[in-house]
Structure 1
Amino acid sequence: MSLTESREELRLQLRRELHATEEEVFDALVNPDKQAVWLSPPGAGGAVETTVDLRVGGAWEARFRPNHLTEVHDVQTYVVIDRPHRLVTDLVSESVVEGQSMPPLHSRVDITLEPTVWGTLMTVEQSGFPDVEIRDFFETVVWPAGLDRIESFLTAR
């Protein structure tokens, strides 16, 4: 990272076409029962706890294990809700990896959903990463795994 780059400039953008309607994708993102299914990867060894207060200023809070070594506690405060096209949240993510508490991550997540011929194009933009390594981890591991789980959930319904 150069000395002129700021946290706000450290961002990522991913796109995935999902074979479901915008409403179905949006619902998977905001419905606690559906979140509990797709947030729980096979063999992760832990229950998912999730609650949603779907209003601007409300929050989505989730506790889960993306793998057997990691515990995550996310609180995403809703900034924009434009059903079924867009969700913007301010994320505070705390995690414990192999018993070691990691520094909390404070970032903004902006998700847009656009109809396509085959379903919905989901675009995820996340900004505010403290360093390139964490951004790259989210870009190559966290989001691809999460999008894979959402896609599996939507195709299995």
Structure 2
Amino acid sequence: MAGNERPRAIADVSAGTILATVTIAVPPERVFRAITAADQIPLWWGADNMYRTTKHTADVRPGGAWRSEGKGADGRDFHVQGEYLEVEPPHRLVMTWKAPWDGDNVTTVTYTLEAIGTGTWLTLRHEGFGPRHDSCRDHGQGWERVLGWLGAFLAGEAGVKAPGVFHCRLIPPRPDFAFTLTEEERALMGRHAEY
């Protein structure tokens, strides 16, 4: 049986493309359902400390529309939507992605699912960011989290222990933080490193 492995994502900002992968310990048919079914996506897409998808609608066919809605940890509503371009259960799903936080630019997400033993090797490609390097980088980090949530959700069904990984991104208080530390900040960073 294939076990769950930690997801990985690489954002090639110069090409405007993200490539993410994860191994999941359930068959492609189950993974495909988890990434397309309206009753499944709200069960796993999100975390209370970031955002939570609360509603998903999907007409899973070429030309069909999809939309996810939810609430951020700050209480703000959000949505993302698109159209299915290719639907080949349980091996391939291609869809557009249009998010207000990305200026309503339209990008393309491709899921490829390959059977490996009794599990699935999922590859995700998100492309079309063009010169929006920050958006590409941020979406890359987001996809790594999303594939982690998906893997953890499906691992529970498969009786597999999901990898215990905590991801965080430290944001410095100012752009030149590393070069202009005060003595108090330097001491705090030292204590943090010792911990």
Sort the TM-score into its range (normalised by shorter chain): 0.7 to 0.9
- What residue ranges of structure 1 are gaps of 5+ in the alignment? 1-6, 96-101
Cα distance change on mapping 1:8 and 1:50 into 2, 3 Å: farther
- 1:20 aligns with 26
Alignment of 1:1-157 (within 5 A): 9-44=15-50, 48-65=54-71, 67-68=73-74, 71-95=77-101, 103-117=103-117, 119-130=119-130, 131-139=132-140, 141-157=141-157
Aligned alpha-carbon RMSD (Å): 2.2
* Number of equivalent positions: 144
Q: Could you state the TM-score of these two structures normalised by the residue count of structure 2? A: 0.67
- 2:174 aligns with none
Between the aligned partners of 1:105 and 1:70, the Cα distance in structure 2 is 21
Query: Identity over the aligned pairs, expressed in percent?
Result: 23
Answer 1 or 2: which has greater strand percent. Answer: 1
- What residue ranges of structure 2 are gaps of 5+ in the alignment? 1-12, 158-195
Q: Could you state the TM-score of these two structures normalised by the residue count of structure 1? A: 0.82
Cα distance change on mapping 1:128 and 1:67 into 2, 3 Å: farther
Cα distance change on mapping 1:82 and 1:53 into 2, 3 Å: same
CA contact (8 A) 1:14 1:124 kept: yes
The one-letter code matched in structure 2 to 1:25 is V
Larger CA deviation: 26-35 vs 46-55: 46-55
Partner SS state of residue 135, structure 1: helix
